[in-house]
Amino acid sequence: MNHPFAKMHGLGNDFVVIDERDGPVAMTGALARAIADRKTGIGCDQLILIGASDKADVAMRIFNQDGSEVEACGNATRCVPLFVGNDVTIETRAGILDARARDGLVSVDMGEPRFDWQAIPLAYAMDTLEMPVSWDDLPAPSAANIGNPHVVFFCDDPGAIDMATLGPQIEHDPLFPARVNVNFAQIIGPDHIQLTVWERGAGFTRACGTGACATAVCAIRRKLCNGPVRVSLEGGDLVIDWVPGGRIVMTGPATHVYDGTIDFETLAPVPA
């Protein structure tokens, strides 16, 4: 059976988007890995399922390259209004999100960040503003949950850091029982941050919306920046607006690349 899909991306963070509003798709971690494989599948950072919801206009499920299902993806959320053809509220495992397209950009109300150690979650209690832990020569990080868990390191010279080694090491550290997204940030100015993200279950991606939100929020919380903050990633810029105690608004581009169909039965299995 052929299943229609759309290939989309937000700043190069790319997605295969499948509509299951007319009938559920029997998605598994193994099938998500096979679709995401760039050699034998379609290829993507995340697989997105858009379904019916009794709480919002649509529901969204998100699977990483490794087949794990996750709570939130900011760049994918920006693609949803383009996929369905209008502004939408979106039910996710992280809550209800509101996405609106304006002047070629999409703004998403990402909700309120959470900072309690239990909400990240961490394995034991500690202050998440400036955590009394580190790895190698990294500075003490901050942590935030933006629907999914993030740890943020503010580095003077990110180029001197072995991110390819430290990213997966920190992602799987026992301190983070649900694993964690790892953000390596450099403060460029009071309203500008340069960011590289090692995404939980996906590795390096060209952009990470929730990572940009977490990094901007932590920078504002530590009084390193004032909002709104421009966050520059490999794929381009996002603007994050947040006032302490309020909700995060993320604004940036989203692109619909092409449509196609795929027969799931032709996909080669990809080991976990």
pLDDT tens-digit series, residues 204-239 = 989 999 999 999 999 999 999 998 999 999 999 999
Looking at the fold, whether 260 and 211 belong to one and the same domain comes out as no
- In angstroms, rounded to a whole number, what is the distance separating the alpha carbons of residues 210 and 199? 10
Per-residue pLDDT band at 50 (split at 50, 70, 90): very high
Q: Is 73 a catalytic residue?
A: yes
Q: Is the pLDDT assigned to residue 103 strictly greater than 90?
A: no
Determine contact, residues 248/113, Cβ cutoff 8 Å. Answer: yes
At 52 the pLDDT is 96
What average pLDDT does the chain have? Answer: 95
Per-residue pLDDT band at 23 (split at 50, 70, 90): confident
Residue 133 is assigned to a structural domain of this protein: no
Per-residue pLDDT band at 110 (split at 50, 70, 90): very high
User: How much of the chain exceeds pLDDT 90, in percent?
Assistant: 87
- In angstroms, rounded to a whole number, what is the distance separating the alpha carbons of residues 44 and 56? 26
At 208 the pLDDT is 94
Looking at the fold, whether 211 and 169 belong to one and the same domain comes out as yes
Looking at the fold, whether 260 and 220 belong to one and the same domain comes out as no
Residue 121 is assigned to a structural domain of this protein: no
At 104 the pLDDT is 87
Question: Which residues touch 93 (CB under 8 Å, ≥6 apart)?
Answer: 61, 62, 69, 70, 71, 72, 147
Q: Is 79 a catalytic residue?
A: no
Looking at the fold, whether 73 and 158 belong to one and the same domain comes out as no
Looking at the fold, whether 61 and 91 belong to one and the same domain comes out as yes
Q: Is the pLDDT assigned to residue 268 strictly greater than 80?
A: no
Looking at the fold, whether 260 and 205 belong to one and the same domain comes out as no
Residue 154 is assigned to a structural domain of this protein: yes
The residue annotated as part of the active site, out of 73, 213, 218, 225, is: 73
Looking at the fold, whether 226 and 261 belong to one and the same domain comes out as no
Phi/psi region, residue 57 (left: phi>0; alpha: psi -120 to 50; beta: rest), is: alpha
Residue 42 is assigned to a structural domain of this protein: yes
Looking at the fold, whether 196 and 241 belong to one and the same domain comes out as yes
**Domain CATH number, residue 166:** 3.10.310.10
How many folded domains does the chain comprise? Answer: 2
- In angstroms, rounded to a whole number, what is the distance separating the alpha carbons of residues 204 and 30? 21
Looking at the fold, whether 183 and 262 belong to one and the same domain comes out as no
The one-character DSSP state at 271 is -
Other Cβ atoms within 10 Å of 102 Cβ, number: 10
Looking at the fold, whether 240 and 262 belong to one and the same domain comes out as no
Q: Is the pLDDT assigned to residue 261 strictly greater than 90?
A: yes
Domain of 147, in residue numbers: 142-246
The residue annotated as part of the active site, out of 208, 213, 218, 225, is: 208
